[in-house]
Copies of this chain bind each other. A is one copy, B any other.
């Protein structure tokens, strides 16, 4: 690999000092037009690109942010990442990706990149913040997930309202016996969604039977398993409300295997609106989260925090939207 040229070489070539090169690139207006042209010419000839390490060392900012995901394989996170990447790119930042796989050791290891100066801030989709935060107080924004700490900015969807949309939709169709398959119990959003489910049911005067509350972990596999538990439990239900689309997909498979038709025998509602859900059979009725925007807004806030030393943490709650498709119908009386 050819060794890149340095500011010194450019300076020699353009017959000016290195300070002028730096200025011509950072703050062109302060150098005389003709000098600037000469510098630019030299830069072009030598294919000069400033060394980022040197710059970062001097300015102590890396212009890199770290994004931590529990599972990059999940298309839902994929979309958020895209939003993050888009926002970062537009403002000249880049995104270091960490797939923690729900593992705290990995998370901690990534967090140390902040201490080492490799990244300027952290965007986490995990349900907690790294230990290190309490010692170093670095810039951080939680996305989707959140922790109960008002010093931390968060961007998230209105989960209770989202689930309420789903439950109301089912209730309007005439369902009364609605089962629920939750998310990973260790994630606060699972709680939020479950609480949203319970309280909406209550508001509508519908019964919340413990026998109809199943536990999942947001994966299709867990949805399939939970649905089986519901069926085996014997308590009757005409609809299932799921904490994620993938869970819904899994549940639908179990229902099929038991000879039950969706939506005729059982209606299903998902959550997230992953790209594939409209192509399922039947197309999945679901609650859409503004995924791309979630990521985008999160970077915006993080970048603002990086720029503004008097930044006040804030919370942004984005609305959900009901996507009514084919997996829901009135109950077979």
Contact = CB atoms under 8 A, between A and B. Distances in A.
Interface of A: 1-2, 4, 47, 49-54, 56-57, 60, 62, 64, 67, 72-75, 78-79, 81-82, 85-86, 89, 94-99, 106, 109-110, 112-113, 115-118, 135-139, 220, 224, 246, 249-250, 252-253, 256, 275-276, 279-281, 283
A50 B157 CA distance: 38
Contacts of A118: 52-53, 64, 94
Contact of A85 (B4, B97, B135): B97
Contact of A115 (B49, B54, B220, B224): B49
A49 B111 CA distance: 11
A4 B53 contact: no
A80 B138 CA distance: 31
A135 B224 contact: no
B136 A51 contact: no
20 contacts: A47-B135, A50-B116, A51-B57, A52-B116, A52-B117, A64-B118, A67-B97, A75-B75, A81-B99, A85-B99, A94-B113, A94-B118, A95-B96, A95-B97, A97-B97, A224-B279, A249-B280, A252-B281, A253-B281, A256-B281
A53 B62 contact: yes
A115 B46 CA distance: 12
From A54, A106, A250, name the one whose CB has the most chain B CB atoms within 10 angstroms: A54
A220 B52 contact: no
Given A82-B99, A252-B279, 6 more contacts: A50-B116, A64-B118, A73-B79, A73-B82, A78-B78, A253-B279
